[in-house]
Amino acid sequence: MRRHLPAGALRVLDVGGATGTHAAWLAADGHQVTLFDIVPEHVAAARQLADRTPGMTVALADARRLPVPDGSFDAALLLGPLYHLSDRDDRLAALREAGRAVRPGGWIFVAAISRFASLFDGLARGFLFDPEFQRIVSVDLASGQHRNDGDHPHWFTTGYFHHPGELRQECLDAGLSLLDVVGVEGLAGWLPQLTDRWDHPADLDVVLRFTRAVENEPSLLGLSSHLIAITRTPTRSGFM
């Protein structure tokens, strides 16, 4: 986001911002951040954080029906709603609402979970050798519809996992101008042997540098557990 957002204090909308991690970070950068989430417990926790974070406000709201005027923000984050909305129409509604709330030419950053995330997670952590998890992964790969009916604590919750091309198409179908889709973690996210290196700045820099070097390589996008679509709202002239 820092690579793309223009300089200066911006009005930023954090849709589905949960307990406020990203909102607090952006507020610390000097932006005025409004966080909406549909989960009351998340909102309560985010409000506690906002009490000690200047520039951050929090309210309860649905990503598909935002209580804000048209064009009232310079940028928006949707870093959770898309993978919690199983129905495509609901995902498009959330994308269109963000597009409505952001001024023409503004930025919208959209996160999704990769279609292949449960497969790689199962391999990395051993879950794939459980027949129940194998059934979950088979459905994920076939349809993207992730279901953890047994409420296993490490197998995520009901959600939707995108193919990279599908994320692109949904952003376009919602009327957004797509600049790029990038993978967030790359292969490094699946390698537990790297954990000890996160505390060493030089090692961390190496991992991040080379992860970024291939972050938008189409053949590797699905390897990341999370994807981010970088989009803008169209201007009236059609140019950014």
Task: Count the residues in the chain.
Answer: 240
CATH topology of domain 11-114+162-187+216-233: Rossmann fold (3.40.50)
Helices (H), 110-231: 117-125, 131-143, 164-173, 201-213
Predicted model pTM: 0.95
Residues 6+ apart with CB under 8 A from 60: 36, 37, 38, 40, 43
* Spatial contact of 125 and 154, defined as CB atoms under 8 Å apart: yes
Percent of the chain with pLDDT over 90: 95
* Spatial contact of 25 and 109, defined as CB atoms under 8 Å apart: no
* Spatial contact of 178 and 168, defined as CB atoms under 8 Å apart: yes
Q: What does the pLDDT look like over 153-189, one tens digit per residue?
A: 999 999 999 999 999 999 999 999 999 999 999 999 9
Cα dihedral 14→70→4→236 (10° resolution): 160
Residues 6+ apart with CB under 8 A from 6: 74
Q: What does the pLDDT look like over 185-235, one tens digit per residue?
A: 999 999 998 989 999 999 999 999 999 999 999 999 999 999 999 999 998
Count of Cβ atoms closer than 10 Å to residue 240 Cβ:
13
pLDDT at position 67 is: 98
Burial grade of 216 (CB within 10 A; 0-12, 13-18, 19 or more): middle
